[in-house]
Amino acid sequence: MDELSQAKVPFFFMTDFLMENVEVFQENQIEDLGLLIDFEGFKKMDKLHHQPDDFQFEAFPQSLESYRKGFDFVQDNLKAGNSYLANYTCKTEVKTNLSLDEIFYLSTSKYKVHYPERFVFFSPETFVEIVDDRIFTHPMKGTIDADLENAVEVLKNDAKEKAEHYTVVDLLRNDLSMVADEVQLDEFQRIDLIKTHNKNLYAMSSEISGTLKHEFRGKIGSIMKTLLPAGSILGAPKPKTLEIVLEAETYSRGFYTGVCGWFDGENLDSCVMIRFLEKENTKLYFKSGGGITHLSKLDDEYQEMKNKIYVPIY
């Protein structure tokens, strides 16, 4: 990735959560593989050849008691001071009458990718953008059912959600300072509406920016290696929290919560691979979760995990 970006050669990349698998494609290789990509500044897609008559989607989440085991393990570590924010996620079997490529075409999101016969995701969360040696990150933390009364005010003022968002903003500001100077908070607690087939959600984001250090300019690979895993989908402090998450979760995240991006020869746009639907043999699984703090309540976190099992088709 460093070699390509220093030579100003455009490429698309994907890295899994643990950075054990990194795939890099130049533009002709994207077409050969059949990857479907829909970013604001880069698209590799055709048109959907037919419009399904209806959309059916059913989720089969684990029981509250099963969820409690991982939740309690995370909480015990938080109380012991081993972490102060841990992103705990789950894998849920789902059934739908649509194929993964149909979901790609029919869903609406800022970032969409379909990897043939493997997964599709429709992520609302930017990881980092690089424009003219300025780097921007947009941590997203905190969601609420948009139909609740005074939902925006409730989200912004909820003690647990505030603590979670403040922690991630502070973590990402520190992360960005490893690759950039003059790091600053540009926007705080912005609220975005996310529409789904089931219910609408409000999500809370902030924007942090800085000027790339000289030694990182033109080195997309080095930047990613320094910043990953993404703080918003792991927690803090990173090394110990990673240990906690890997023990609490009963499955492998794989590319879920990894990062992918498009380098156009000059600038970079990348996203966190969340809102993730994966094919395993003949079954489909949706991966979702949320940040746990010492203020978290079991029932609320279980509901948030289920709320995020959706497809933005409406």
Mind listing the pLDDT tens digit for each residue in 233-280? 999 999 999 999 999 999 999 999 999 999 999 999 999 999 999 999
Closest CA to 107 of 174, 178, 170, 57: 57
Mind listing the pLDDT tens digit for each residue in 49-96? 777 878 899 999 999 999 999 999 999 999 999 999 999 999 999 999
pLDDT given at position 157: 85
pLDDT confidence band for 198 (50 / 70 / 90): low
pLDDT given at position 247: 97
Least confident of 42-46, 70-74, 219-223: 42-46
Which tokens go with 297? 């309540």
pLDDT top residue among 121 and 206: 121
Helical (H) or strand (E) element with 238: helix 238-248
Is the confidence at residue 177, as pLDDT, over 90? yes
Domains assigned to the chain = 2-69+91-228+255-277 (3.60.120.10)
270 Cβ contact list (under 8 Å, min separation 6): 126, 127, 128, 129, 259, 260, 261, 262
| One-letter amino acid of 104 | F
Which tokens go with 2? 């460093």
- Dihedral angle over CA of 153, 157, 163, 166, nearest 10: 60
Residue 174 burial class via C-beta count within 10 angstroms: exposed 0-12, middle 13-18, buried 19 and up:
middle
Least confident of 27-31, 38-42, 44-48, 210-214: 44-48
Q: What is the DSSP annotation of 272-291?
A: E--SEEEEETTEEEEEEEEE
Percent of the chain exceeding pLDDT 70 equals: 99
pLDDT confidence band for 199 (50 / 70 / 90): confident
Which tokens go with 276? 């993730």
Torsions phi, psi for 33 (to 5 deg): -80, -25
Least confident of 10-19, 89-98, 182-191, 257-266: 182-191
Global model pTM greater than 0.85: yes
The CB density around residue 181, as the number of other CB atoms within 10 Å, is 11
Is the confidence at residue 197, as pLDDT, over 70? no
Closest CA to 98 of 56, 70, 45: 56
What percent of the chain is helix, strand and coil (3-state, nearest 5)?
A: 30, 35, 35
CA–chain centroid gap for 235, Å, is 13
Contact between 210 and 182 under an 8 Å Cβ cutoff? The reply is yes
- In the chain, how long is the greatest CA-to-CA distance? 55
Write the CA distances from 207 to 134, 143, 238, integer angstroms: 13, 17, 20
pLDDT given at position 195: 74
